[in-house]
Amino acid sequence: MTRIEKLEAKLNRGEAIILLRPENRRYFTGMTTSNGLLLVTNDNAWFFTDFRYIIAAKSIVNKPINVSLFEGSHAATVKKTINTLPYKIERIYFEDAYLSYGAARAFMEEIANAEFAAGEALVSMLRREKSPDEINLISEAQEITDSAFTDILNYISTNKNKGITEKDISFELEFNMRRRGASALAFSTIIASGTNGAYCHAVPSDKKIASGEFITMDFGACFDGYMSDMTRTVAVGDISEEKEKIYDIVLNAQLTAIKNIKAGLTGTQCDAFARDYISKAGYGADFGHSLGHGVGLEIHEGPNFAQSFSGIINANAVMSVEPGIYIENNCGVRIEDLVVVKENGVEILTHSPKKLIKL
Query: Which pLDDT score, from 0 to 100, does residue 91 have?
Result: 98
Query: Which pLDDT score, from 0 to 100, does residue 177 have?
Result: 98
Q: How confident is the model at residue 32 (pLDDT cuts 50, 70, 90)?
A: very high
Query: Which pLDDT score, from 0 to 100, does residue 33 have?
Result: 96
Q: What is the CATH number of domain 132-348?
A: 3.90.230.10
Q: What is the pLDDT of residues 137-162, one digit of tens each?
A: 999 999 999 999 999 999 999 999 99
Task: Report, as an integer, the average pLDDT of 266-284.
Answer: 98
Distances from the Cα of 12 to the Cα of 8, 43, 45, angstroms: 8, 9, 14
Q: Does the predicted TM-score (pTM) go above 0.85?
A: yes
- What mean pLDDT, rounded, does the chain reach? 97
Q: What is the pLDDT of residues 283-326, one digit of tens each?
A: 999 999 999 999 999 999 999 999 999 999 999 999 999 999 99
Task: Report, as an integer, the average pLDDT of 345-355.
Answer: 98
CB of 297 closer than 8 Å to CB of 225:
yes
Query: Which pLDDT score, from 0 to 100, does residue 138 have?
Result: 98
Q: What is the pLDDT of residues 101-112, one digit of tens each?
A: 999 999 999 999
Query: From CA 107, how far away is CA 227, in angstroms rounded?
Result: 32
Other Cβ atoms within 10 Å of 88 Cβ, number: 11
Query: Which contiguous run of DSSP H or E holds residue 16?
Result: strand 15-19
Query: Which pLDDT score, from 0 to 100, does residue 170 have?
Result: 98
How far the first Cα of the chain sits from its last, in Å, is 51
Percentage above 90 pLDDT, the chain: 99
Backbone phi and psi for residue 19, each to the nearest 5 degrees, phi listed first: -120, 120
CB pairs under 8 A, 24+ apart, for 93-97? 93/11, 93/15, 93/16, 93/17, 93/18, 93/117, 93/118, 93/119, 93/122, 94/17, 94/18, 94/118, 94/119, 95/18, 95/19, 95/20, 95/21, 95/24, 95/119, 95/120, 95/123, 96/120
Q: How confident is the model at residue 5 (pLDDT cuts 50, 70, 90)?
A: very high
Q: Residue 150 corresponds to which amino acid? A: T
Q: Residue 67 corresponds to which amino acid? A: V
Q: What is the pLDDT of residues 178-196, one digit of tens each?
A: 999 999 999 999 999 999 9
Query: Which pLDDT score, from 0 to 100, does residue 147 have?
Result: 98
CATH 3.40.350.10 segments of the chain: 3-128
Other Cβ atoms within 10 Å of 355 Cβ, number: 7
CB of 148 closer than 8 Å to CB of 219:
yes
- 3-128: what fold? Creatine Amidinohydrolase; Chain A, domain 1 (3.40.350)
Q: How confident is the model at residue 263 (pLDDT cuts 50, 70, 90)?
A: very high
Helical residues (DSSP H) of 261-330, grouped into ranges: 267-280
CATH 3.90.230.10 segments of the chain: 132-348
